[in-house]
Amino acid sequence: MNQILEAILQRRAIKVFDPVEISPDTREQILHAARLAPSSFNIQPYRFYWVETPQMKNEAARLCFGQSPAATASALVVAVADIGSWKATTESELAWMRTAGFSETKIAEHDRRAKSGKWFFIQGWFGVFGLLKWTILRALHFWKTMGTLPVARQGMFKWATKSASLACQNLMIAAEALGLNTCPMEGFDGRRLGRLLGLSGKYHEIVMVIAIGKKSARHVDHPQWRRPLAATVRIV
């Protein structure tokens, strides 16, 4: 079978891990695969915190309510939606384009797109500008086919979480392909974990914590259940 498909079909949420060390090389391969996931405007609005030092890991596992995957994992990867980095990312992509041999026309085009793109993100004081944008778009929508923009911080986090989640899935499949196993978790105290990692209350929200390690023989794989395809998919 195709190896990518094999890793996808093999992946399970693992509840007990053996204490193995993940080499820096493997860690880098996994994180590199994660960040190759597609993202909205290529803004990559997320960060990963790879928690592996015993003291930090124990504390993070405690904040995951001591769940067994967290307590036994070799590392905990905290995936964070980041709505504060879009400007820096856009600028850094432009700087890269200038050194990577892109034509002046391409660079100017990208610069123009980045400048107009900021209207997508700006929410203004207390989200007033975001609400105004939404109202105008809603009115225009009566006449025109168009999409919507994220409104307020919650809308921005929803936007960032989509890209962050795709990166998380890439990370889990890459780990599987490299002979490791994972368990995604949303059972954690987000405020305390955020404080432990020094996250910004304004720009950051933890999307999930991924326990990563080597499946233990003590883990029992229950049969994997999914709804019938017809309940999930509609072919029109």
Ligand X SMILES: Cc1cc2nc3c(=O)[nH]c(=O)nc-3n(C[C@H](O)[C@H](O)[C@H](O)COP(=O)(O)O)c2cc1C
Determine the size of the site formed for ligand X (CB under 6 A).
12
Q: Judged by CB, which is closer to ligand X: 13, or 197?
A: 13
Amino acid making up residue 72: T
Q: How far is the CB of 69 from ligand X (least distance, A)?
A: 5
For residue 60, give both structure tokens: 């993070």
Kindly indicate which of the ranges 23-31, 103-111, 121-129, 183-191 contains the residues binding ligand X, using the contact rule CB under 6 A.
Answer: 183-191
Q: Does 69 bind ligand X (CB under 6 A)?
A: yes
List, as own/partner pairs, every contact residues 5-9 make where C-beta atoms lie below 8 angstroms and the sequence separation is at least 24, other chains included.
Answer: 7/173, 7/176, 7/177, 8/173, 8/176
Of 212-231, binders to ligand X (CB under 6 A) are 224
For residue 49, give both structure tokens: 């915190």
- Cβ–Cβ < 8 Å for 34, 173: no
Distance separating alpha carbons of residues 176 and 148, to the nearest angstrom: 36
Of 2-61, binders to ligand X (CB under 6 A) are 12-13, 15
Q: Does 210 bind ligand X (CB under 6 A)?
A: no
Q: Does 63 bind ligand X (CB under 6 A)?
A: no
Quickly count: other Cβ atoms within 10 Å of residue 43's Cβ.
23
Distance separating alpha carbons of residues 14 and 7, to the nearest angstrom: 14
Q: Does 179 bind ligand X (CB under 6 A)?
A: no
Q: Does 185 bind ligand X (CB under 6 A)?
A: yes
Give the residue at shortest CB distance from ligand X. 187
**Binding region for ligand X (CB under 6 A):** 12-13, 15, 67, 69, 183-187, 208, 224
